[in-house]
Structure 1
Amino acid sequence: MSITTARYGTWKSPISSKLATESSVSFQEIRLDPAGAAGSVFWSELRFDEGGRYVICSLKENEKDFKVWTPKDFNARTRVHEYGGGAFFVHEGAVYFSNFSDQQMYMQKSPDCTPVAITPKDCGWRYADGSLSSKTGKIYCIREDHSLVEKKEAKEPQNTVVAIDPKTQKQTVLASGCDFYSSPRFSPDGKKLAWVQWNHPNMPWDSTALFVGELSSGGDEIVPGSAKQVAGGEGINVMQPMWSPNGDLLYISDQTGWWNLYQCSPEGNHQNLLPCEAEVGGCQWVFGRPDYAIDPSGSGNVILKMKGEIMKLDVKTKECKKIEVGYTSYNMLNFGWNGKLYCEVGSPTKFPCIVQLNTQNGEVKGIRESKSLSLDKDYFSIPVDYSWKTTDNDVCYGFLYTPKNKDYKAPDGTLPPLLVKAHGGPTSYSPNTLRLLIQYFTSRGFAVLDVNYRGSNGFGTQYRNKLKTKWGIYDVDDCCTGAQSLADEGQVDKNCLCIDGGSAGGYTTLACLAFKNVFKAGTSLYGVADLEALVRDTHKFESRYIDNLVAPYSEETKKIYDERSPIHYVDKLNCAMAFFQGDEDKIVPPNQAEMMYEAVKAKGLPTVLVMFKGEQHGFRKAENIQTALDGEFYFFAKVFGFEPADKHMSLDIKNLKG
């Protein structure tokens, strides 16, 4: 086929917004049955074309077709911490899960059975991160009690570690008094329980402590005086405790400045199993996504991910070998009794999928694809590592995607528009995996810079902590200097620089537009505009997050909050801004988008607000994701003055001239 010469941004692309969500799922959790059903793997998937419903599925070894467990009137999603995760587990062939509408825990014996509630209703209780011990017959999980908040007798819900008897529904509290708990894990003999705890203003990647307590003979109590801290503490992060078959306790800690894997013997001796300047773990925004896995057979092998590779570590000899499989992303690692690893994998040219991985020879067997799409790879832009100098003599990192469409080229001497993407969190990370939401832009003639600004995880504790007290400064600097660097190098059009981001990335976007004069347009998806309002209105999990990112809120620090809130600086705005927001968002309330929109509109700048009914924090409905994606591109096209090839989108953009 001949190649058409056309202006950047006007290229026609087969990667439509519908294609980006159609028959597409997002994998949330992967589970194996520790008590049986060897060779079966269970997972939950977010289905965009079912209104964002979470569905549990399973596949048996040597079978082709997977089973769907979750009936249509159920949604296997927990609201603990609002972000959830750890919504289900498996025991002796039965699935136990939290249901979104009532937040009760249910037990389901088979895909054809109706789920049965095993926790009381109308208690205001939510559950996450559970597992069932064959030794005690009890479920150990996190419980978040909202009952007093609902009665307006408390400001925050109470989080505890509880034991649940699934037969009687009786619950007992095992650990309480701290603001947060995670990862309750019982030892193989059922005699000990490990868990992680932390208090405000820490987040689960800040100062946390690992505790171990002795379980009573019935398994429903911690023996008084037996609970002891074994790792972590002030300035140290610990997470993801797991017991090996011989009773050693493994965990991830950043005490060296990097998230490394440690082992604590029954005698209390601690050892860094693989000292290295690389991260084994990642930020625990949600429950139930393990970054390493222990062979349950007792071989002493541990599988872990590091630097975009999958590794096998022999705990006894400390020998570590890379398993050659050809992916760049590995998530939710689970080691089966059959010696196989089950996890989610991805790469810049392959959609995330669940696979069975032979840890001996690297052979991969596909189980479930997040998206089945036969699209020529010549439409895909392959990211390259890109780093640049930023403020305070520092360096920032990101992934650069150049325009790519096999059917088009741009006129000689022209440069592409640049979209800078600021990830959420802000303590998060943008991976170099295939995402159609990026390819949508690159295949239409945009360059994209996906920024891992200072504060992102994956680059060690020091880099992760650089954003402390600097939110709204360093993230803004890094996005702006990244765009300027590419413009100065002559890789992108300096007059067509735009930026977008969701949640905390939406805040960075708004701050870039309010405080800097680099970008010509921006899109905020459920982004923060008023830091003071965020502190006042947000949920418990993040209610003190901003203490470290900015400062503890007080009358004395209110000035800092105001100085970094874009809503107070609309007089400095001189560019176009679009807003997409869910009207049921509890994390960033919709009034923030409304306030910002009204302010920009009053300023006479091009702007649009799209409010999605029934959406929460992050869009889950396919039609809304499509509208946001098409709408953002349409908005940029109108602002930059080019005619997109797609003609189906129209938005009521205020103050648009010409």
Structure 2
Amino acid sequence: MELAPESDAVSAASAVRASIGFDQLRVVGEALYWLESRPSYGSGPTLVRWSADDGAADVTPSRFDVTSSVHAYGGGTYAPSSDEVWCAGANGLYRVAEGNVSLMLEDSSSFGDLTIGNGELLAVRETDDGDALVAVPLVGAPVMRVLAETSGFFGAPRPGPGMLAWLRWSERDMPWDSSELWVAPYGADGFLGDPVKLAGGPTESVVEPRWGPDAALYFASDRSGWWNLYRWDGESVEPVAPVAAECAAEPWELGYVSYDFLADGRIVMVVQEGPRHHLAVVDRAGAVAPVKLPYTSIKPYLAVRGASVALVGSSPQVAPQVALVHLGDEPRVEVLARAEHPGLDGLTLSTPVELRIPVEGSREVVALVYPPTGAAPDWCAPVIVRAHPGPTASCLVRLDWQAQFFTSRGFAVVDVDYTGSTGYGRVFRQALYGRWGIDDVVDCRAVAEFLLTEGRAVPGAVFIRGASAGGYTALQAVAQDGPFTAATAVSAIVDPERWAETVPRFQRAHATRLHGGAGRVHAANIRRPVLMIHGTADDVATADDVRELADELQARGVPHELMLLDGVGHYVATSAHAARALEAELAHYRSAMAAMASG
């Protein structure tokens, strides 16, 4: 089997260096702020400020990480004003002014969803015992006040006209399953009055509350089966723009902004349909009009600036970039920041094709197929099936340099939106509960078998890989008969029951609802070679489980490799060792193909 020449391929180091990320857009006056992750720098996110006069410039020094571990996944880690920025970091809350960073409040807790209101900084504070809504004065002594407490979780403290809105969900729930929207009087004295629940409950997820310029409270709810936009006018709740699509993102992080308000009273929002996103504008009558843009993936971080909206967009041919979309009769895109790709610009790229593939039980699954770079229309190649993490995440139609690393070497890469993925409504998102390791594996296997039947996949060269929850899917896929030749499991969960005990507080309810399907990955069932890549500092899926599985595989003589990355957490793909991990994965597949050819 002849693969692409190495000289024409994307190097692992280049694929990692090119994976610059932009997050958490905010606007203050005429200025825009965002967080920029630069894997090649080996540090955490940097806060960047952009203005029309000065362009983009770093606000925080390279030695300082604007980051938070609130609810394990962070979010809402900074809040800007006209001349200062308050942000979360190691050891507490910080103030950034004129390029200097000073500790505002020392506290070992985790903070997130930072918001300015009534002359004070509002935030969610998490400890081992639960969450609190807290307030810290912006001037004078930084004495923290607790506004509300819960043994569960809080999110989105949003000050409005004499009111404060926030989200709450119990420790027995995930916010995408069951969450509640509360409001209470919030006056100049800085204390809350009696709270009232407006929406949410056991069968409803409410996310992203925001006060509109009309003094109404807006939020997204999935009461219709889709996260759609609703409005509370002080008396009743009404739908704003019903559509059969997701108008909010699955809330793994705090601080998402999937919609915002234009100066003329219209609403701009991100809409997800399957693996694709688009921007839409909602007029005062509730009519939804799509905005034609060169992006197929848009992050849930919108920031309106007058008649324009800033966003983070990408497509299969365009790496993530910060863009200002001027919403006239003919929308105009002004790119403010883009990932630079020294040595990669001008390369031929593999563009994914979306397939809908039938699965047992009259279901179908969506897959994004990246052909080998430069392949002929009738290509047939080794195939890598990828199970995304989450498992409530989804495939994204965007430039993925790590996929290009493999396609430039003659592989096809296939992303699968298996059962449980977001983008297909509440019922589909919850369908994996109690069937984890079963239906997700069935879906991935169906995609692989379809490609084999169609003559696209080379028999004996079909692989499966996944990260986190997707790593569990990959391991279970080679613990039974099927088309897969080998598996790669990155930051994998091995034992759902044990994971439910060790997983961070935020995700315990998720672990409880997911397990009950295939159960623990047993070494005795593994039938194909496996590569496990894991960080020793992973606090979401501890390395102890993969060490134990590796020992059991060793005792049984099952081909395997365990790559432990010292000091790396759950996100191997953005670590300093990411290039090493990619090279190891490539070597794993080549070794499996060589063994099949010689056997």
User: What is the TM-score with the length of structure 1 in the denominator?
Assistant: 0.86
Cα drift, residue 587 of structure 1: 0.5
Q: Which stretch shows the higher mean deviation, 279-288 or 23-32?
A: 23-32
Secondary structure of 1:81's aligned partner: helix
**Which residue in the other structure is 1:152 paired with?**
none
Q: Is the Cα contact below 8 Å between 1:503 and 1:527 reproduced in 2?
A: yes
Matched, 1:166 2:138: yes
**Which residue in the other structure is 1:41 paired with?**
32
**Which residue in the other structure is 2:64 paired with?**
74
Q: Which stretch shows the higher mean deviation, 383-392 or 205-214?
A: 383-392
2:156 to 170, 183, 190: 183
Cα drift, residue 583 of structure 1: 0.7
**Which residue in the other structure is 1:288 paired with?**
255
Secondary structure of 2:80's aligned partner: strand
Change in CA separation of 1:485 and 1:416 when aligned onto 2, cut-off 3 Å: same
**Which residue in the other structure is 1:276 paired with?**
243
Change in CA separation of 1:518 and 1:628 when aligned onto 2, cut-off 3 Å: same
2:26 to 31, 34, 45: 31
Q: Which stretch shows the higher mean deviation, 48-57 or 415-424?
A: 48-57
1:21-57 superposed Cα distances (whole Å, 9 cap, x missing partner)? 2264212311112xxxx22111111221222411101
Q: Is the Cα contact below 8 Å between 1:12 and 1:444 reproduced in 2?
A: no
Q: Is the Cα contact below 8 Å between 1:48 and 1:620 reproduced in 2?
A: no
1:545-569 superposed Cα distances (whole Å, 9 cap, x missing partner)? 1222125xxxxxxxx6xx5211xx2
Q: Which has the higher contact order (CA 8 A, sep 6+)?
A: 1
> Within 1, Cα distance between the matches of 2:580 and 2:388?
20
1:106 to 94, 105, 130: 94
**Which residue in the other structure is 2:101 paired with?**
115
* Residue correspondence of structure 1 range 172-571 to structure 2 within 5 A: 172-187=145-160, 189=161, 191-219=162-190, 221-223=191-193, 226-266=194-234, 268-295=235-262, 297=263, 299-306=264-271, 307=273, 308-314=277-283, 316-360=284-328, 361-373=330-342, 375=344, 379-405=348-374, 415-551=380-516, 564-566=519-521, 569-571=522-524
> Within 2, Cα distance between the matches of 1:22 and 1:176?
42
Matched, 1:83 2:73: yes
AA aligned to 1:143 is: R
> Within 2, Cα distance between the matches of 1:373 and 1:452?
32
**Which residue in the other structure is 1:641 paired with?**
594
Cα drift, residue 516 of structure 1: 3.6
1:126-178 superposed Cα distances (whole Å, 9 cap, x missing partner)? 21001112xx2111110112xxxxxxxxxx33211111213322222222224
**Which residue in the other structure is 1:51 paired with?**
42
Q: Is the Cα contact below 8 Å between 1:51 and 1:620 reproduced in 2?
A: no
> Within 2, Cα distance between the matches of 1:227 and 1:178?
17
> Within 1, Cα distance between the matches of 2:374 and 2:296?
23
> Within 2, Cα distance between the matches of 1:300 and 1:319?
13
Q: Is the Cα contact below 8 Å between 2:500 and 2:512 reproduced in 1?
A: no
- Give the structure with the larger strand fraction: 2
Cα drift, residue 524 of structure 1: 0.6
Matched, 1:143 2:119: no
Secondary structure of 1:53's aligned partner: coil
> Within 2, Cα distance between the matches of 1:31 and 1:499?
38
Q: Is the Cα contact below 8 Å between 1:9 and 1:642 reproduced in 2?
A: no
Change in CA separation of 1:600 and 1:657 when aligned onto 2, cut-off 3 Å: farther
The number of equivalent residue pairs is 593
> Within 2, Cα distance between the matches of 1:385 and 1:281?
22
Q: Is the Cα contact below 8 Å between 1:178 and 1:197 reproduced in 2?
A: no
AA aligned to 2:171 is: H
Q: Is the Cα contact below 8 Å between 1:201 and 1:548 reproduced in 2?
A: no
Matched, 1:586 2:539: yes
Cα drift, residue 533 of structure 1: 1.9
| Structure 2 unmatched ranges of 5 or more | none
Q: Percent identity?
A: 25
Secondary structure of 1:535's aligned partner: helix
| Structure 1 unmatched ranges of 5 or more | 1-5, 146-155, 552-559, 644-655
Cα drift, residue 657 of structure 1: 9.4
> Within 1, Cα distance between the matches of 2:7 and 2:442?
33
AA aligned to 1:127 is: F
Change in CA separation of 1:511 and 1:642 when aligned onto 2, cut-off 3 Å: closer
> Within 2, Cα distance between the matches of 1:127 and 1:376?
39
AA aligned to 2:113 is: D
Q: Is the Cα contact below 8 Å between 2:356 and 2:367 reproduced in 1?
A: yes
